[in-house]
Chains A and B, each alone.
Chain A
Protein backbone atom coordinates (compact mmCIF):
# COMPACT_ATOMS: atom_id res chain seq x y z
CA UNK A 1 0.00 0.00 0.00
CA UNK A 2 1.36 3.40 -0.96
CA UNK A 3 1.62 6.00 1.79
CA UNK A 4 -0.73 8.34 -0.06
CA UNK A 5 -3.55 7.06 -2.27
CA UNK A 6 -5.36 9.21 -4.80
CA UNK A 7 -7.71 8.21 -7.59
CA UNK A 8 -6.15 9.34 -10.88
CA UNK A 9 -9.52 9.95 -12.59
CA UNK A 10 -10.15 11.59 -14.96
CA UNK A 11 -13.03 13.36 -13.27
CA UNK A 12 -15.21 15.18 -15.78
CA UNK A 13 -17.78 17.72 -14.57
CA UNK A 14 -19.89 20.49 -16.15
CA UNK A 15 -19.03 24.11 -15.52
CA UNK A 16 -20.53 25.35 -12.26
CA UNK A 17 -20.46 21.97 -10.53
CA UNK A 18 -19.06 21.38 -7.07
CA UNK A 19 -15.98 19.18 -7.30
CA UNK A 20 -14.74 16.89 -4.55
CA UNK A 21 -11.19 15.54 -4.72
CA UNK A 22 -9.90 13.14 -2.09
CA UNK A 23 -6.83 11.38 -0.74
CA UNK A 24 -6.30 8.73 1.89
CA UNK A 25 -3.06 8.07 3.69
CA UNK A 26 -1.57 5.48 5.99
CA UNK A 27 1.11 7.38 7.94
CA UNK A 28 -0.46 8.76 11.12
CA UNK A 29 2.60 11.01 11.61
CA UNK A 30 1.50 13.30 8.78
CA UNK A 31 0.62 16.71 10.20
CA UNK A 32 0.83 19.07 7.22
CA UNK A 33 -1.51 18.64 4.28
CA UNK A 34 -1.26 20.35 0.94
CA UNK A 35 -3.00 20.51 -2.39
CA UNK A 36 -1.05 21.35 -5.49
CA UNK A 37 -2.50 22.13 -8.92
CA UNK A 38 -0.61 21.15 -12.05
CA UNK A 39 -1.59 22.39 -15.47
CA UNK A 40 -0.53 20.38 -18.49
CA UNK A 41 3.20 20.71 -19.24
CA UNK A 42 3.74 22.91 -16.16
CA UNK A 43 5.13 22.43 -12.68
CA UNK A 44 2.85 21.94 -9.66
CA UNK A 45 1.84 25.07 -7.78
CA UNK A 46 0.66 25.19 -4.19
CA UNK A 47 -3.06 25.77 -3.83
CA UNK A 48 -3.86 25.07 -0.18
CA UNK A 49 -1.79 24.36 2.93
CA UNK A 50 -3.31 23.15 6.20
CA UNK A 51 -1.98 21.94 9.50
CA UNK A 52 -3.58 19.07 11.41
CA UNK A 53 -7.36 18.61 11.27
CA UNK A 54 -10.12 20.97 10.25
CA UNK A 55 -11.20 23.11 7.33
CA UNK A 56 -9.56 25.92 5.45
CA UNK A 57 -11.28 28.09 2.89
CA UNK A 58 -9.77 30.26 0.17
CA UNK A 59 -12.20 31.70 -2.35
CA UNK A 60 -13.86 28.85 -4.21
CA UNK A 61 -11.55 26.27 -2.64
CA UNK A 62 -12.04 24.47 0.68
CA UNK A 63 -9.60 21.97 2.11
CA UNK A 64 -10.73 19.48 4.75
CA UNK A 65 -8.61 17.18 6.88
CA UNK A 66 -9.99 14.28 8.90
CA UNK A 67 -7.04 12.79 10.73
CA UNK A 68 -9.13 10.18 12.52
CA UNK A 69 -10.09 8.69 9.15
CA UNK A 70 -6.75 9.57 7.49
CA UNK A 71 -8.70 11.30 4.74
CA UNK A 72 -8.33 14.71 3.14
CA UNK A 73 -10.53 16.50 0.63
CA UNK A 74 -10.44 19.51 -1.64
CA UNK A 75 -13.73 21.05 -2.67
CA UNK A 76 -14.04 23.43 -5.60
CA UNK A 77 -17.24 25.46 -5.81
CA UNK A 78 -18.61 26.90 -9.05
CA UNK A 79 -15.98 25.05 -11.07
CA UNK A 80 -14.63 26.77 -14.19
CA UNK A 81 -12.99 25.39 -17.34
CA UNK A 82 -9.80 27.10 -16.11
CA UNK A 83 -9.84 24.71 -13.14
CA UNK A 84 -9.10 21.83 -15.53
CA UNK A 85 -5.78 20.47 -14.30
CA UNK A 86 -4.28 17.66 -12.25
CA UNK A 87 -4.67 18.09 -8.49
CA UNK A 88 -2.04 16.47 -6.30
CA UNK A 89 -2.40 16.03 -2.59
CA UNK A 90 0.77 16.08 -0.52
CA UNK A 91 1.55 15.58 3.14
CA UNK A 92 4.48 15.80 5.48
CA UNK A 93 5.41 15.08 9.07
CA UNK A 94 6.27 17.71 11.64
CA UNK A 95 9.56 16.30 12.85
CA UNK A 96 12.63 15.32 10.93
CA UNK A 97 11.81 15.51 7.27
CA UNK A 98 9.16 17.99 6.17
CA UNK A 99 9.61 16.93 2.57
CA UNK A 100 6.13 16.24 1.25
CA UNK A 101 5.00 12.88 -0.02
CA UNK A 102 2.74 13.28 -3.01
CA UNK A 103 -0.31 11.39 -4.22
CA UNK A 104 -0.35 10.53 -7.90
CA UNK A 105 -2.83 13.28 -8.73
CA UNK A 106 -6.43 13.41 -9.97
CA UNK A 107 -7.05 14.76 -13.45
CA UNK A 108 -10.02 17.15 -13.46
CA UNK A 109 -11.81 18.26 -16.60
CA UNK A 110 -14.42 21.00 -16.36
CA UNK A 111 -16.35 21.30 -19.59
CA UNK A 112 -18.34 24.41 -20.61
Chain B
Protein backbone atom coordinates (compact mmCIF):
# COMPACT_ATOMS: atom_id res chain seq x y z
CA UNK B 1 0.00 0.00 0.00
CA UNK B 2 1.84 3.09 -1.28
CA UNK B 3 2.31 5.84 1.33
CA UNK B 4 2.47 8.79 -1.07
CA UNK B 5 1.05 8.18 -4.51
CA UNK B 6 1.05 10.48 -7.51
CA UNK B 7 -0.80 10.24 -10.79
CA UNK B 8 0.00 10.25 -13.57
CA UNK B 9 3.61 9.00 -13.53
CA UNK B 10 4.27 10.33 -17.01
CA UNK B 11 2.79 13.22 -18.98
CA UNK B 12 3.76 14.25 -22.47
CA UNK B 13 1.98 17.30 -23.79
CA UNK B 14 2.25 20.28 -26.11
CA UNK B 15 3.17 23.82 -25.18
CA UNK B 16 0.17 25.88 -24.20
CA UNK B 17 -1.85 22.97 -22.81
CA UNK B 18 -3.13 22.68 -19.23
CA UNK B 19 -2.38 19.62 -17.09
CA UNK B 20 -2.98 18.39 -13.55
CA UNK B 21 -1.07 16.08 -11.25
CA UNK B 22 -2.76 14.45 -8.26
CA UNK B 23 -1.22 13.36 -4.99
CA UNK B 24 -2.57 11.36 -2.09
CA UNK B 25 -0.94 10.29 1.16
CA UNK B 26 -2.26 7.63 3.54
CA UNK B 27 0.20 8.36 6.36
CA UNK B 28 -2.12 10.64 8.31
CA UNK B 29 0.33 13.52 7.89
CA UNK B 30 -0.65 17.16 8.31
CA UNK B 31 1.77 18.70 5.81
CA UNK B 32 2.18 18.16 2.10
CA UNK B 33 4.58 19.60 -0.47
CA UNK B 34 5.27 19.95 -4.16
CA UNK B 35 8.90 19.86 -5.26
CA UNK B 36 10.29 20.29 -8.76
CA UNK B 37 13.39 18.35 -9.81
CA UNK B 38 15.09 19.65 -12.92
CA UNK B 39 17.37 17.80 -15.33
CA UNK B 40 20.38 18.47 -13.10
CA UNK B 41 18.63 16.71 -10.19
CA UNK B 42 18.19 19.92 -8.24
CA UNK B 43 15.15 19.51 -5.97
CA UNK B 44 13.38 22.78 -5.30
CA UNK B 45 10.36 23.46 -3.06
CA UNK B 46 7.37 24.95 -4.84
CA UNK B 47 4.50 24.81 -2.36
CA UNK B 48 3.76 23.59 1.12
CA UNK B 49 0.35 23.00 2.68
CA UNK B 50 -0.37 22.41 6.34
CA UNK B 51 -3.84 21.19 7.28
CA UNK B 52 -5.11 22.24 3.85
CA UNK B 53 -3.72 25.78 4.21
CA UNK B 54 -1.03 27.20 1.96
CA UNK B 55 2.11 27.84 4.01
CA UNK B 56 4.87 28.27 1.49
CA UNK B 57 4.63 29.57 -2.03
CA UNK B 58 8.09 29.95 -3.45
CA UNK B 59 8.79 32.02 -6.52
CA UNK B 60 6.69 30.00 -8.88
CA UNK B 61 4.79 31.40 -11.90
CA UNK B 62 1.10 31.86 -11.19
CA UNK B 63 0.42 29.38 -13.99
CA UNK B 64 1.00 26.81 -11.23
CA UNK B 65 -1.94 26.48 -8.87
CA UNK B 66 -1.99 23.97 -6.03
CA UNK B 67 -5.17 22.82 -4.38
CA UNK B 68 -5.67 20.80 -1.21
CA UNK B 69 -9.25 19.52 -0.88
CA UNK B 70 -8.34 17.74 2.38
CA UNK B 71 -5.26 16.86 4.44
CA UNK B 72 -4.60 13.70 2.47
CA UNK B 73 -4.66 15.26 -0.99
CA UNK B 74 -2.64 17.93 -2.75
CA UNK B 75 -3.09 18.51 -6.45
CA UNK B 76 -1.11 20.66 -8.85
CA UNK B 77 -2.64 22.31 -11.89
CA UNK B 78 -0.44 23.92 -14.53
CA UNK B 79 -1.84 26.30 -17.13
CA UNK B 80 -0.31 27.30 -20.45
CA UNK B 81 2.57 24.86 -20.23
CA UNK B 82 6.01 26.02 -21.37
CA UNK B 83 9.10 24.10 -22.45
CA UNK B 84 10.85 25.07 -19.21
CA UNK B 85 8.16 23.31 -17.18
CA UNK B 86 9.58 19.96 -18.27
CA UNK B 87 10.80 18.31 -15.08
CA UNK B 88 9.91 15.67 -12.53
CA UNK B 89 7.39 16.89 -9.98
CA UNK B 90 7.47 15.23 -6.58
CA UNK B 91 4.77 15.27 -3.99
CA UNK B 92 5.86 14.73 -0.40
CA UNK B 93 4.34 14.70 3.05
CA UNK B 94 5.56 15.10 6.61
CA UNK B 95 3.95 14.58 10.00
CA UNK B 96 3.80 18.31 10.55
CA UNK B 97 5.79 21.49 9.97
CA UNK B 98 8.29 20.81 12.76
CA UNK B 99 10.14 18.05 10.96
CA UNK B 100 12.23 17.86 7.83
CA UNK B 101 11.52 14.15 7.50
CA UNK B 102 9.70 14.01 4.21
CA UNK B 103 8.09 11.05 2.54
CA UNK B 104 8.16 11.37 -1.23
CA UNK B 105 6.03 9.95 -3.98
CA UNK B 106 7.63 8.38 -7.03
CA UNK B 107 7.35 11.52 -9.09
CA UNK B 108 5.45 12.66 -12.16
CA UNK B 109 7.66 13.15 -15.20
CA UNK B 110 6.34 16.02 -17.31
CA UNK B 111 7.62 16.55 -20.85
CA UNK B 112 6.46 19.62 -22.74
CA UNK B 113 7.03 19.51 -26.50
Contacts and interface: CB of A to CB of B under 8 A. Distances in A.
Interface residues of B, number: 24
Contacts of A42: 106-107
Contacts of A41: 106-107
Contacts, number: 61
Interface residues of A, number: 25
A100 B102 contact: yes
The majority secondary structure among interface residues of chain A is strand
Contacts of A44: 43, 90, 102, 104
Nearest to B90: A43
Interface of A: 8, 32, 34, 38, 41-46, 49, 86, 88, 90-92, 97-102, 104-105, 107
Contacts of A8: 40-41
A84 to B, nearest CB: 15
